Amino acid sequence: MPFKIELRKISFARGQNTILDGVDLTVEPGHVVVFGGRSGSGKSALLEICAGHLKPAGGSVLWDGENVSAMSRYELYDWRKSIGYVFQVHALIANHSVFDNIALPLKCGTDLSGEQRKNKVLALMDELEIGHDIMTRFPETLPAAQLKSVAIARALINEPEVLLLDEPFSGVDPLTVNRLISVLHGKWKKGGMSIVMASHSLSAWPEWSAGRFVLKDGRLEPAGNAFATVKDLGGNQRYNQRYSYAK
């Protein structure tokens, strides 16, 4: 089952610059939260704090009521087995092939046989429409859309309870975005995983029931219905109209 994420009075600074200033956020199990903000507003930092990758200067992060800062390295490792993370810069391993990048969480966190891992990776590649012809290629040879697709596949391969996405659709063509959204939405509907997404567009997720926030001056502010009237959506308008899911 997905676990509850709570951020309480989170603060974070880089040098003399305060990035986050008393951020509160609760992500209930199985819910989706999307937050936007200008470049440099702290979206990536907030997402990394949610994942326990980055330690806040103040405040606390709770996973199902457990304080992350009080966890040992081994406890964090066990919790993170149930978290999928897509970094803004794909963060694929340069000397690993596409197949090996996607399969890596299965090697570290499961006792599946080599054949079982292969079948699972190939099935997910098919679902995301990642061609088998790039299986043996390395990240540096791939365009942006394929890099993001592979990074999302790696995050999904272990069927995470919580999925954290940092600008997952930036630099990706509309057709690929449609496919990625369709797969993510389908897995969310089926498995009920929690999703937290940082995105320049608050319409990046098709569910109107999703929690939407704007990160401004170090604080998270509820976006209300403002995103529906935002004109500056760029290419997102092209795929946003295609989906009208209801949970």
Residue ranges of the domains in the chain? 1-82+161-247, 93-159
What the block records as the tokens of 215 is 């990160």
Residues in the chain: 247
pLDDT in tens, the chain (247 residues): 788 999 999 999 988 889 999 999 999 999 999 999 888 889 999 999 999 999 999 999 999 999 999 999 999 988 988 999 999 988 999 999 999 999 999 988 678 899 999 999 999 999 999 999 999 999 999 999 999 999 999 999 999 999 999 999 988 999 999 999 999 999 999 878 999 999 988 888 888 788 999 998 999 998 864 444 443 444 444 333 333 333 3
**Sheet-wide strand order for 5-14:** 17-27, 5-14, 58-63, 66-67
| Bridge partners of residue 5, in order along the sequence | 27, 63
* Residue 219 bridge partners (DSSP): 216
pLDDT value at residue 229: 40
Contact in structure between 80 and 51 (CB atoms under 8 Å): yes
Query: How many beta carbons lie within 10 A of that of residue 232, not counting itself?
Result: 8
What 8-state DSSP symbol labels residue 199? -
Q: What is the pLDDT of residue 7?
A: 96
Query: pTM (2 decimals)?
Result: 0.86
CATH number for domain 1-82+161-247, candidates 3.40.190.10, 1.20.1250.20, 3.20.20.140, 3.40.50.300? 3.40.50.300
Tokens for 213, please give them: 């926030």
Instruction: Provide the 10 A C-beta neighbour count for residue 96.
Output: 15
